[in-house]
Structure 1
Amino acid sequence: MNSTSIGQAGTALKYKGGLHCDKDALTDMFGWFLQVLLACLAFTCLIAKRFCEPRIRRRSWQIWFYDTSKQGMGAMAIHLANVWLAGQYQGDPCTWYLINFLLDSSMGLLIIFIGIRTCQFLAHRKGWEAINFGEYGKPPNVNAWLAQCCLYVGLMVIVKVSITLFMQLDFWENVKDFILSPIDNPKIELAFVMLIIPFFINMLMFWVTDNFLMYRDPSKRRRDSCEVSLLEKARVKYRNMRKKKRDSESDGLLSGDDDIIDPEQVPIVRAAVSM
């Protein structure tokens, strides 16, 4: 038996034992290809979100880049940390990566929301405009963007430390045993873990997080609501005017018919009809 056959037999035994993904599967050529493809798809989702914004409130490309680049750096930091941590656990690294990713997308999103709202509260309370996420001054200041990037990456560090500590609980071993148990092909498992499942979850997570990060002017929201209410009032007034016009025209037609018949000729008309 040659060395190739021995290697294939050893790989088959390893997969049979439940270790579907190789320890280096997340960082080999196929793994990196899936990761780059996922990053491109997620970036495309954020571009599409910009075009879904109302035209009058659509962000400029510079503001959009400032908002989304924070997410990009934070997501890259979390992703690289998950790839490294997946290889530190005993067992299938794909399964550990998926568990970390799902926790980042649920428990981590809650931590991000609390952190962003806390920074915005401090910005309004203390006057620290540089940490007010989504607001960069007029004209946009790159220093405010850098400060918010550092804050957002710091939130990602808090998320990753919290989830790593949460992952130390014993019951995750049982979760690991069945979460991807129906899949016995390492390539398909890697595609599910690195591309298919993260694509749909990232699309939702990036969309929601972008709403947290983008600036919303309270005065603009009030102005928009006033414009809508004024427009509605104008429509109601226009409908009432048209209704009054139609009523006046119908009254004019009726009065015109009455003028055709002279009141003095009414008895003569009635006598003619009776004959």
Structure 2
Amino acid sequence: MNTTKIGNQPVGGLHCSKDALTDVFGWFLQVLLACLAFTCLIAKRFCEPRSERRSWLIWFYDTSKQGMGALAIHLANVWLSGQYTGDPCTWYIINFLLDSSVGLLIIFIGIRLSQHLSKRKGWEAINFGEYGVPPSMNAWLAQCCLYIGLMVIVKTCITLLMQLNFWEGVRDFILSPIDNPKVELAFVMLIIPFFVNILMFWVTDNFLMHRKSRTKSRRNSLEQSLLHKVSLQYRSVRTERNSESDILLSGDDELLDTDEPVHRTSMRTVVA
């Protein structure tokens, strides 16, 4: 890909240098973005209903696959952005947005296909979100390898798509209003990826985690409601029985209190 020049400035503005993504400021933004994305996944766990909330081990098994896949894609994008002619920041953000849209569709298809094969062929190890009881590390490793394989397929498809000449015009247009290289790098490495990653990580985590079927959840809620009603009825019956026993005891006490003076008066009349 070649870049035409007007005077000393390339068309579209060569704002970021070739090593802008890998210098100290670039790596700082990348580490900050990773920390924010990790915090988002922690917050997602606490947003789950208490009855369906994953344990920390299952949560780690689910999110670690996504973390390793995102790291592999990110490093590939950083390296590929430096291989194109022109502003590496624009090439990085184009790759990133394609990964977050077309790549997410490929990930969804791959995960659903894997889950279908695991149920049809009995390959429990590749059923995403299922690790056995107790959770098996071998199942986690198998799913990690499969997910990394999906990332390789995604990156291959996106790289082939990037060979179209259509992206030359996109590169000249995108981020063109920004003139400051530091601001452009912040937009490319932190601001835009932060909001896109929140949505992408949240959706992908829903793909990867085991979700109870609606019939099971309805059955569990029905069982809980029935148990609650039975406990309430038991408490009410127990309260009624206690109140009845209290009434009977109070009646016996009254009879005992009244019998003695009646007996005494009757004896007095007989003696008289």
Q: Which residue of 2 aligns with 1:242?
A: none
CA deviation vs aligned residue, 1:33-57 (integer Å, no higher than 9, x gap): 0000000000000000000000111
Cα separation, partners in 2 of 1:31 and 1:231, compared to 1, 3 Å: same
**Residues 45, 53 of structure 2: 8 Å contact kept:** yes
Q: What is the one-letter code of the residue matched to 1:187? A: K
Higher percent of residues as helix:
1
Q: Tell me the CA shift for residue 225 of structure 1.
A: 5.3
Q: Percent identity?
A: 81
Worse-superposed segment, 197-206 or 217-226: 217-226
Query: Which one of 13, 19, 22 corresponds to residue 27 of structure 1?
Result: 22
**Distance in 1 of aligned mates of 2:101 and 2:223:** 37
Query: Which one of 113, 116, 121 corresponds to residue 118 of structure 1?
Result: 113
Q: What is the one-letter code of the residue matched to 1:32? A: W
In the TM superposition, structure 1's runs of 4+ consecutive aligned residues that sit over 4 Å from their partners are 12-17, 227-234
Worse-superposed segment, 13-22 or 150-159: 13-22
SS of residue matched to 1:27: coil
Q: What is the one-letter code of the residue matched to 2:156? A: V
Q: Which residue of 2 aligns with 1:102?
A: 97
Q: Which residue of 2 aligns with 1:180?
A: 175
SS of residue matched to 1:56: coil
**Residues 15, 184 of structure 1: 8 Å contact kept:** no
1:54 and 2:63 are equivalent in the alignment: no
Q: Tell me the CA shift for residue 231 of structure 1.
A: 9.3
Counterparts of 1:166-245 in structure 2 under 5 Å? 166-218=161-213, 220-224=216-220, 226-227=222-223
Q: Tell me the CA shift for residue 18 of structure 1.
A: 1.4
Structure 1 unaligned blocks of 5 or more: 1-11, 235-275
Q: Tell me the CA shift for residue 23 of structure 1.
A: 0.4
Q: Tell me the CA shift for residue 13 of structure 1.
A: 4.7
**Residues 70, 148 of structure 1: 8 Å contact kept:** yes
Cα separation, partners in 2 of 1:68 and 1:182, compared to 1, 3 Å: same
Counterparts of 1:9-24 in structure 2 under 5 Å? 13=8, 18-24=13-19
**Distance in 1 of aligned mates of 2:84 and 2:97:** 17
Q: What is the one-letter code of the residue matched to 1:102? A: L
**Distance in 1 of aligned mates of 2:224 and 2:134:** 29
CA deviation vs aligned residue, 1:112-148 (integer Å, no higher than 9, x gap): 0000000000010000000000000000000000000
User: How many residue pairs were aligned?
Assistant: 224
CA deviation vs aligned residue, 1:175-220 (integer Å, no higher than 9, x gap): 0001110001000000000000000000000000000000013263
**Residues 26, 185 of structure 2: 8 Å contact kept:** yes
**Residues 12, 173 of structure 2: 8 Å contact kept:** no
**Residues 70, 149 of structure 1: 8 Å contact kept:** yes
Q: Which residue of 1 aligns with 2:261?
A: none
**Distance in 1 of aligned mates of 2:85 and 2:11:** 16
Query: Which one of 145, 149, 171 corresponds to residue 144 of structure 2?
Result: 149
Give the TM-score taking structure 1 as reference length. 0.77
**Residues 50, 64 of structure 1: 8 Å contact kept:** yes
**Residues 68, 148 of structure 2: 8 Å contact kept:** yes
Cα separation, partners in 2 of 1:15 and 1:188, compared to 1, 3 Å: farther
**Distance in 1 of aligned mates of 2:194 and 2:224:** 37
Cα separation, partners in 2 of 1:16 and 1:109, compared to 1, 3 Å: closer
Q: What is the one-letter code of the residue matched to 1:223? A: R
**Distance in 1 of aligned mates of 2:121 and 2:207:** 20
Q: Tell me the CA shift for residue 27 of structure 1.
A: 0.1
Give the TM-score taking structure 2 as reference length. 0.78
**Distance in 2 of aligned mates of 1:54 and 1:176:** 44
**Distance in 2 of aligned mates of 1:213 and 1:29:** 34
**Residues 18, 87 of structure 2: 8 Å contact kept:** yes
SS of residue matched to 1:204: helix
**Distance in 1 of aligned mates of 2:224 and 2:177:** 54
CA deviation vs aligned residue, 1:65-104 (integer Å, no higher than 9, x gap): 0000000000000000000000000100000000000000
1:65 and 2:60 are equivalent in the alignment: yes
